[in-house]
Amino acid sequence: MRNFVVVGNRAATTPDFSLEDIPGTSGRIDILCRCINSAFVLSHGIRRDVHVYLILRGGGSPKTIQLRGRDLRHLNPDERTTAALLKKALALEVDSNWTKSTPGIFVRIGDLANLEIFGDGATYYLREDGSDYRGLSSGADGTFVLGDHIGLSEEDEAFMTDLNAAIVSVGPRSLHADHCIVLINNELDRREAANRDESEIDGNGTKE
Ligand SMILES: C[S@@+](CC[C@H](N)C(=O)[O-])C[C@H]1O[C@@H](n2cnc3c(N)ncnc32)[C@H](O)[C@@H]1O
């Protein structure tokens, strides 16, 4: 399973933002929508082996929205439709338990530190000055944590350190979070394909 966690430092926790001006009224939920697109959308389908967790901290108690690729429906490539799905989730009365919004989308009160996924496989914190992710021989599916336009706070960084997260970079330039997700997905796809090719080659060096 690939988990992508994106921290929305100012992302709205209520549905009262405008679909006509998502960047200007939602605390940059547009960034989170693009991350969802990059995490799930294939040319002709949805990646079923991906989960996305959005941490929204733009008012009141922080909320987390979870999107599960296996069950996800109604996801189109455009930001507006995705923002409408998030808006629907944010309109629900929730507590600290996951509440289903639409197929594959769940919401609850909770912050980064409340996620149960850490410790289940490796955790990678994506940061511009990290070690090259491509160079990591152990790189495989795991949990990838990214910031929005603001990045991660000092407290978040301390939390990543406590988790023993590997700090990794996807290249020498500072990129948008959604573009980083595309690169990670691509790298993992390539590794999976290479492993498949290897396992299909028999002892005589020929493909079975
Ligand atoms: C637009 S960047 C954040 C820029 C923000 N001003 C900062 O200093 O953190 C959004 C997120 O993308 C990720 N990111 C951007 N470029 C990266 C790179 N080359 N390698 C790894 N992660 C990167 C980081 O997680 C970052 O928090």
The domains found in the chain, sorted by start residue, are 2-200 (3.40.1280.10)
Burial group, residue 59, by CB count within 10 angstroms (0-12, 13-18, 19+): middle
What atom in ligand 1 is closest to the CA of residue 176?
1
Query: Does the pLDDT of residue 202 top 60, yes or no?
Result: no
176 lines ligand 1 (CB under 6 A): yes
177 lines ligand 1 (CB under 6 A): yes
Per-residue pLDDT band for 141 (boundaries 50, 70, 90) equals: confident
More confident residue, 191 or 111: 111
182 lines ligand 1 (CB under 6 A): no
Q: Which of 195, 170, 168 is nearest to 185 (CA)?
A: 170
Residue 156 is predicted with a pLDDT of 98
Query: Does the pLDDT of residue 152 top 90, yes or no?
Result: yes
Average pLDDT of every residue of the chain: 93
Per-residue pLDDT band for 74 (boundaries 50, 70, 90) equals: confident
Mutate to test the pocket of ligand 1, among 126, 144, 152, 157 (most ligand atoms within 8 A of CB): 126
CB 131 within 8 A of CB 167: yes
Residue 201 is predicted with a pLDDT of 65
Residue 23 is predicted with a pLDDT of 97
- pTM summary value: 0.94
Mutate to test the pocket of ligand 1, among 10, 127, 169, 176 (most ligand atoms within 8 A of CB): 127
Residue 198 is predicted with a pLDDT of 75
Per-residue pLDDT band for 199 (boundaries 50, 70, 90) equals: confident
Range of weakest confidence among 54-68, 105-119, 123-137: 123-137
Ligand 1 centroid, distance to 160 Cα (angstroms):
15
CB 114 within 8 A of CB 96: yes
Ligand 1 centroid, distance to 124 Cα (angstroms):
13
What's the chain's Rg over C-alpha atoms?
18
* pLDDT tens, position by position, 32-69: 999 999 999 999 899 999 999 999 999 999 999 999 99
Chain CA centroid to CA 20, Å = 24
CB 187 within 8 A of CB 47: no
